[in-house]
Structure 1
Amino acid sequence: MNYQVVIKNIETVNEVEGYWSDEDFIQLLEKFNYPDGATAEKKNLPELLEMAISDYEPNEAAEIVLTYKLSEELNEGQIQQISHNMLIDKVCEEYPEIHLQGTMYHVNQLLFKAYNGKFPNAKASVVQFSMKPIYEDAVKILTKENVLKLLNNGLSDRNLIKRLFEDQMSQNIPFPEAEGIVWELNTADNKNYTLVTSENWLNKEDFTQFEFESVLEEIEEEV
């Protein structure tokens, strides 16, 4: 199916609003020995958590938040190692398990704010675009994989996704890593989309065109 792709806006942000829920704040406050989070005003929860976190050494705080978010994915030793590495490097951009990078980004930025910059400042990209079939009226519900493949024609060859996943981006083969590369994909009408990912994966400089055509082929199932 042929699509007309229009990139409408690309914004670089320090945090993705709405990721941390009130319940997250309350649970984390308990873990940082502030038990009154449940009775605090909701609007004060983020500030209270920042204050509670700052009473701890940075690597200790990182270990607590990482354990809260990733204890089912990582063991204690891995979390301890990451909590130390986060003070030096943007682990959320380098971690080999791509599906964990998004969560690590949100943890990193929570700690970055709490410690006024002791952690590296990682950034996210919010991309707004439209993808509309050219010759057909039928609207296909696009997946993260579909969207990345359709963006391929507008991206520079220097783009990290194209360099690491050239075959998956350009050929009619599965691209399971897309689920981890794209953190959020939202649409109200299956034509206009908002995508959230790491600035490391996609940023304004990666695009050589902002209006272009792309073809999306159905991936053939292996027999």
Structure 2
Amino acid sequence: MKFNVKLNSASTIEEIENYWKDEDFVKLLELYSFPEADTIKPENLREMLFMAITDFEPNEAAKIILTYKLSENLNEGQIDQISNEMLLDKISEEYPEIGLHYDLFNINQLLFKAFNGKFPNAKATKVEFELTSADNSKEEITKEIVLKSLNNGLSESNLIKRLFSDQMSTEKRFDEAEDIIWKLDKKDESNYTILTSDYWLNKDELIAEEFDADFELAEKDEEE
């Protein structure tokens, strides 16, 4: 597959818009024993939640949110451990199951803002780019294709290139791409936006504004 890649912008962000919904805030307020949470005006929910959160010790507050969001993925012992560790370390970058990094990032940042910095400040990267096929490929653009396409525009120090060099530069399947890229949004036929962790991709590691990508994907029968 051959593409021309043109980077339009790359920025560091500390919060993912629309991850937390009003109904999440109401349910969390109830879990923090805040009275009549369902009567609070939507524009006041976040402020009230921060007040409710800080009535608890940081690790206890973390445990409540972790249980609310990740009880189907983590057991009680894991939640206890993470609730303590995330006060010291960026668990959203270090936790071995990268499929949980997106949720852990958003949980961490909510606690970071509520407790005015008692939790580490994790960061994310937003990249807007144009991806144009140079060989008339009709393949649907996936997270794997996006990462392989970015390979030639990334510095050699980039963590994805260092940990997944074969997946980035050969036809080897890159299943981890689904978790490394948190969100892939298509704006039109050739313009896309991705969100990922600053841990995986710092905006300064994008060292070229326009470049070509040439790679192969694993055969379909190999994926089944």
Q: What TM-score comes out, normalization by structure 2 length?
A: 0.95
**CA distance in structure 1 between the partners assigned to 2:16 and 2:172 by the alignment:** 31
Give the aligned residue type for 1:196.
L
Other-structure match for 2:186: 187
- Between 28-37 and 76-85, report the one with greater CA deviation: 28-37
1:145 Cα deviation after fit: 1.0
**CA distance in structure 2 between the partners assigned to 1:195 and 1:40 by the alignment:** 34
**CA distance in structure 2 between the partners assigned to 1:65 and 1:147 by the alignment:** 32
**CA distance in structure 2 between the partners assigned to 1:188 and 1:82 by the alignment:** 36
Q: Which digits, 9 at most, give the CA deviation of each residue in 1:3-23, with x for residues without a partner?
A: 110111111111111110111
Other-structure match for 1:160: 159
Percent of aligned positions with the same letter in both sequences? 55
Residues 156 and 208 in structure 1, CA contact (< 8 A), matched pair in contact too: yes
**CA distance in structure 1 between the partners assigned to 2:138 and 2:202 by the alignment:** 27
Q: What TM-score comes out, normalization by structure 1 length?
A: 0.96
Other-structure match for 2:169: 170
Structure 2 gaps of 5+ residues are: none
Give the aligned residue type for 2:196.
T
**CA distance in structure 2 between the partners assigned to 1:105 and 1:171 by the alignment:** 30
Give the aligned residue type for 2:179.
G
1:40 Cα deviation after fit: 1.1
SS in 2 for 1:193: strand
1:139 Cα deviation after fit: 4.3
Residues 187 and 193 in structure 2, CA contact (< 8 A), matched pair in contact too: no
Other-structure match for 1:141: 140
- Between 207-216 and 153-162, report the one with greater CA deviation: 207-216
Give the aligned residue type for 2:198.
E
1:190 Cα deviation after fit: 3.7
Residues 139 and 190 in structure 1, CA contact (< 8 A), matched pair in contact too: no
Give the aligned residue type for 2:49.
L
Q: Which digits, 9 at most, give the CA deviation of each residue in 1:68-103, with x for residues without a partner?
A: 111000100000000000000001111110100111
Residues 172 and 218 in structure 1, CA contact (< 8 A), matched pair in contact too: yes
SS in 2 for 1:129: strand
Q: Which digits, 9 at most, give the CA deviation of each residue in 1:26-62, with x for residues without a partner?
A: 1111100114222211111111111100100000000
